C-alpha cells in the first residue's frame, strides 16, 4: 500500500516555520524559524539536520523567488559549515543566488541567531526542475490521483 504525501504545512510545522519574511525576485529569501527543545541533542544544541534544512529551504525559496512557482529546486550538492551551536529560540535563514544557469544554479545561505550571530553557512548546487513533472512523478510513486 502506498503512503500518501505529507502536506506542506506539516513539514513547515515540523521545521518550526514562523514566517517567510521575504522572497525577492532578484533571488533572495529570508525565513524565520523557531528552534525548539525537541530539536536538540545533548547540551541543548539543535541537531545539524534542522540547521541544514533551514538554510536549504531558504536557498530553495530564493530560487523560487527568482524563477517563479513553476520550478522545483532540487539540491544536487549541499555543503554546510557550522560556526556556533544553534540553541532553542528564533533563528533567521537567508538564501541568495550566486550564479544562475539555464537549469543548474549556485546558491549560498546562512543561519543567524536573533542577535545576528552567524551560526552556519551553506552552498548548494541546485537543478531547476519542472514542478508539474516532479509532482506527477511523486503522485505516480505514491499511487495518488491528481
Q: Is residue 94 part of a domain?
A: yes
Q: What is the pLDDT of residue 80?
A: 98
Number of domains in the chain: 1
CATH number at residue 119: 3.10.129.10
Q: Is residue 142 part of a domain?
A: no
Q: pLDDT by residue for the chain (146 residues), tens digit each?
A: 344 455 568 888 999 999 999 999 999 999 999 999 999 998 999 999 999 999 999 999 999 999 999 999 999 999 999 999 999 999 999 999 999 999 999 999 999 999 999 999 999 999 999 999 999 998 888 876 55
Neighbours of 75 (CB within 10 A): 13
Q: Is residue 1 part of a domain?
A: no
Q: Is residue 102 part of a domain?
A: yes
Which range marks the domain in which residue 102 is found? 8-132
Q: What is the pLDDT of residue 3?
A: 44
Q: Is residue 137 part of a domain?
A: no
Q: Which positions ≥6 away from 35 have C-beta within 8 Å?
A: 16, 46, 50, 86, 87, 88, 89, 90, 91
Q: Is residue 78 part of a domain?
A: yes
Amino acid at each position: 500500500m502506498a503512503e500518501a504525501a505529507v502536506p506542506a504545512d506539516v513539514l513547515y510545522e515540523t521545521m518550526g516555520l514562523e514566517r517567510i519574511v521575504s522572497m525577492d525576485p532578484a533571488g533572495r529569501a529570508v525565513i524565520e524559524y523557531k528552534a525548539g527543545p525537541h530539536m536538540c541533542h545533548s547540551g541543548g544544541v539543535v541537531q545539524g539536520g534542522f540547521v541544514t534544512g533551514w538554510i536549504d529551504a531558504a536557498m530553495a525559496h530564493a530560487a523560487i523567488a527568482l524563477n517563479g512557482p513553476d520550478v522545483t529546486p532540487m539540491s544536487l550538492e549541499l555543503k554546510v559549515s557550522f560556526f556556533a551551536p544553534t540553541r532553542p529560540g528564533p533563528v533567521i535563514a537567508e538564501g541568495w543566488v550566486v550564479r544562475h544557469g539555464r537549469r543548474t544554479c549556485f546558491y549560498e545561505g546562512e543561519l543567524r541567531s536573533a542577535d545576528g550571530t552567524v551560526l552556519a553557512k551553506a552552498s548548494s548546487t541546485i537543478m531547476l526542475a519542472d514542478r508539474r513533472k516532479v509532482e506527477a512523478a511523486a503522485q505516480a510513486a505514491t499511487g495518488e490521483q491528481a
